[in-house]
Amino acid sequence: MTIKDIARECGCAVGTVSRVLNNQAYVSDEMRKKVLEVVAKHDFVLNKNAKELKSRGSKTIVIIVKGTNNMLFYNILELMQKRIERLPYNASVVILDEYDNEIVGEYSNEAQCALNIYYEKKPLGFVFLGGNPERFSEDFKKIKVPCILITTKPKKEGFENLSSVSTDEFQASLY
């Protein structure tokens, strides 16, 4: 039994099962309960060695989510993980507290967190879901893989490896 088998039985993405097993956010209570029931039914135990080996692969795309209570992010994250699963890549999700504006865990900003991951795991790229790109500049300069900002747009572009996707809230409010 693997987490792919559990995901198939539960009708969800492998990333959802992973978030439940690692006690992370962005899983509905209903889905969390369903996953845990399947895990208990099959006496599944998470293999920490397999998890570590998988996260070290050079085919990893890291998704850094800034915020634990945003349902929009949950939906985007779920769709991204399902899409990545169909490709020859792995998704690694890092969730950072949205209320901690001064320090993000042990990092002072999301780019510093990404830089640490960049040096440790050598991912193919990063997706930043939320966050404050204005605090990125110094640390972001050192990241040399493709990066995407989703839902936020930097006020100044200047990194050739950075793209962004955002919504014009004013225009959206007119409809």
54-106: pLDDT as tens digits: 555 468 999 998 877 777 788 888 899 989 888 888 889 888 876 655 444 55
Residue 103 sits in the same domain as residue 19 = no
Q: Does the pLDDT at position 169 exceed 90?
A: no
Residue 64 sits in the same domain as residue 128 = yes
Q: How far is CA 106 from the centre of its chain?
A: 18
- Mean pLDDT, to the nearest integer, of 149-154? 74
Q: Does the pLDDT at position 164 exceed 70?
A: yes
Give the number of domains in the chain: 2
How far apart CA 158 and CA 35 sit, in angstroms, is 43
Residue 76 sits in the same domain as residue 12 = no
Q: Does the pLDDT at position 1 exceed 70?
A: yes
Q: What is the dihedral of CA 146, 93, 14, 150, to 10 degrees?
A: -60
DSSP alpha helix (H) spans, the chain: 3-10, 14-21, 29-41, 48-56, 71-85, 110-121, 137-140, 169-173
Domain that holds residue 17: 1-46
Predicted pLDDT at 142: 85
CATH number at residue 16: 1.10.260.40
Q: Roughly what angle, to the nearest 10 degrees, separates helices 29-41 and 14-21?
A: 80
Residue 1 sits in the same domain as residue 83 = no
Residue 68 sits in the same domain as residue 143 = yes
Name beta bridge partners: 60.
90
Evaluate whether 22 touches 86 at the Cβ level (below 8 Å): no
How far apart CA 173 and CA 134 sit, in angstroms, is 25
Evaluate whether 76 touches 84 at the Cβ level (below 8 Å): no
Residue 42 sits in the same domain as residue 58 = no
CATH number at residue 80: 3.40.50.2300
Residue 129 sits in the same domain as residue 75 = yes
Predicted pLDDT at 165: 80
* Three-class secondary structure of residue 66 per DSSP: strand
Residue 103 sits in the same domain as residue 160 = yes
Name beta bridge partners: 106.
none
Boundary of a domain, candidates 10, 31, 46: 46
Residue 97 sits in the same domain as residue 69 = yes
Residue 118 sits in the same domain as residue 167 = yes
| Residue, of 8 and 154, whose pLDDT is higher | 8
Residue 28 sits in the same domain as residue 74 = no
Tens digit of each residue's pLDDT (9 = 90 or more) over 6-42 = 999 999 988 899 889 888 888 899 999 999 999 999 9
Predicted pLDDT at 51: 59
Neighbours of 47 (CB within 10 A): 12
Residue 30 sits in the same domain as residue 60 = no
Quote the pTM value: 0.62
Predicted pLDDT at 102: 45
How far apart CA 174 and CA 147 sit, in angstroms, is 31
pLDDT category of residue 52 using cuts at 50, 70 and 90: low
